[in-house]
Amino acid sequence: MVSGRAISAVYVADLERRLAAAEGARAVETAARIAAETRLAQVEEAHARLERMVKQARYEKFGAKSEKLDPDQRHLPFEDIDVAEGMLAAASDAAEKAVGTRKKSRKPSNRNKGNLPAHLPRIEEVIEPESTLCPCGCGEMVKVGEDRSDRLDVIPAQFRVLVTIRPKYMCRTCAGKSHAQAPAPEWLVPRGLPTEAMVAHCMVAKFGDYLPFYRQADIYRRQGLDLDRTMLANWAGRAAQLLQPVIDAMIAELRRSDRLQMDETYVPVLAPGTGKVRKDFLWAILRDQRGWGGSDPPIVVFQHSRTRSGEIAQKMLKGFTGSTLMADGHPVYDVLADPKQTAKPWTIANCWTHWRRRFVTFSQSTPSPICEEMIRRVASLYAIEKEIRGRDPDTRRAVRQQLSKPIVEALRPWLEGCLQDLSSANDLAKHIRYGLKRWDGLTRFLEDGRLEMDTNGVENAIRPIPLTRKNALFAGSIDGAETWARIASLIGTCRLNGVNPEAYIAATLRKILDQHMQSDIALLMPWNFAE
């Protein structure tokens, strides 16, 4: 007979086998669950990344293009309310007048009071009473005062025809052998219609006010002027060619500048013979010393190119004596700092706004404490910059060393610590590594009071290009794109110097047509213009 002890041993062994099998099955199930959870986490992360991409695409398509809200945009919802309020006020005034009730005295509004410029012509309209005879029969009343009110009036774009008359004189005594007549003035368009002021108006309307030539032609047609858009474009091309020496002199002035900013934007250009539009580029080179009180006037020059390569940037900066170039983090500018590829390497200072913009964009689709903290720290740096703007370079450097440098030095280890908690494939980690890779360029402003923290200056100068591009759709040829660059250079430099570009272009064209000396080209620079 089998003893009870043997039965117990068999039972225990069987139980142990069952337990081992259950633990093995549980381990397999746990491994499968972990694998499934890992795949689920990967899928959820990919899904979240796709959602961010969709949100960002929607924002780029339909959202505001600026990180800063335009103050005027805050008033947009209230404009209709103001219109309705004006309608109610007019109805109330009409009702009070009809009923004959006395209107309560209202406190006069201070809006726009006293803001009518003194140079505007004043047309006085005197409204006399029907009779100045005293109703009591005393005779004519005496004027003892008057009430005056100024109202702003407008005359729509008023065209006029300038008739040039050159009288002919002849001596009758010597049978017509002697005669006199003033020489015909040089015109921009030989035997053409426009004056220099008309051409300047068309140029600034398109390249400064973003009004394409075909829209201008529609406006002129309402006043009975049939000016084809091809005619307007021809005028602009002639003027741009005539103004080329001025632009060359501006470029020569830029070549002597030590610290510059550079950026580029694409422009659509019609490819000849294909019927398609290709993507060309306009490059902007800016000098602006107003941030540190420099004496050189600000200049921006645009140049056209077919591609966006480092070779193009090298070619455009050939002959420049500068040493430091502020630019964004695009790899094309790395070529300029490489001694193996550039004979005279530039020192590249990178832009904080471009780095900050990455965190702003990420936070618009995915709220993140890291983004909020990063934006807050960069904002503290800009608060310091606001206080020292316009101060001399030594003061700016001293303040930056004392206040900005501790913030920047604490930023890097904090970001490196954040990287340890993020997946390497995470978009936020990529944004952090973008700045850490360019750390030397981002921190150069701490050691040089003549540098800014960003390339906002050249970005602001380049902003009219996308607005013109949106309205004009594309340039019709390479010549059209080059004309675009020339005119944009003049208008942009005028704006930087507070000069009316329309008045400047009209006066400069006239001086050049009147044979202005090339040796005195400096007198034609926008910063030397006075209306």
More confident residue, 418 or 11: 418
Query: How far apart (Å, rounded) are the C-alpha atoms in residues 203 and 189?
Result: 15
- Judge whether residue 345 has pLDDT over 50: yes
- Answer yes or no: are the C-beta atoms of 370 and 443 closer than 8 Å: no
- For residue 404, what pLDDT is reported? 92
- For residue 6, what pLDDT is reported? 64
Task: Tell me the pLDDT band of 77, cut-offs 50, 70 and 90.
Answer: very low
- For residue 73, what pLDDT is reported? 44
Q: Which among 205, 236, 163, 223 is positioned nearest to 464, based on CA atoms?
A: 205
Q: Please spell the DSSP secondary structure of 434-464, one letter per residue.
A: HHHHTHHHHTGGGT-TT--SSSHHHHHHHTH
Query: How far apart (Å, rounded) are the C-alpha atoms in residues 262 and 285?
Result: 5
pTM equals 0.72
At 360-388, the pLDDT tens digits run 888 887 788 888 999 999 999 999 999 99
At 301-337, the pLDDT tens digits run 998 888 888 888 888 888 888 888 888 888 888 888 8
Sign, CA torsion 245/251/254/256: negative
Question: What region does 261 belong to: left with phi over 0, alpha with psi -120 to 50, or beta?
Answer: beta
At 126-183, the pLDDT tens digits run 888 888 888 887 888 888 888 888 877 777 777 888 888 888 888 877 765 778 888 8
The pLDDT mean for the chain works out to: 80
Cβ neighbors of 293 (< 8 A, separation 6 or more) are 390, 391, 392
Task: Tell me the pLDDT band of 422, cut-offs 50, 70 and 90.
Answer: confident
Query: How far apart (Å, rounded) are the C-alpha atoms in residues 444 and 162?
Result: 57
Under DSSP, the state recorded for 205 is H
- Judge whether residue 64 has pLDDT over 80: no
- For the chain, the domains span 352-453
Taking the mean position of all CA atoms in its chain, how far away is CA 482?
20
- For residue 213, what pLDDT is reported? 84
At 438-458, the pLDDT tens digits run 999 999 999 989 999 998 899
- For residue 382, what pLDDT is reported? 93
At 87-132, the pLDDT tens digits run 566 566 666 666 666 555 555 554 544 567 787 888 888 888 888 8
- For residue 300, what pLDDT is reported? 92
More confident residue, 519 or 474: 519
Strands 324-327 and 259-270: parallel
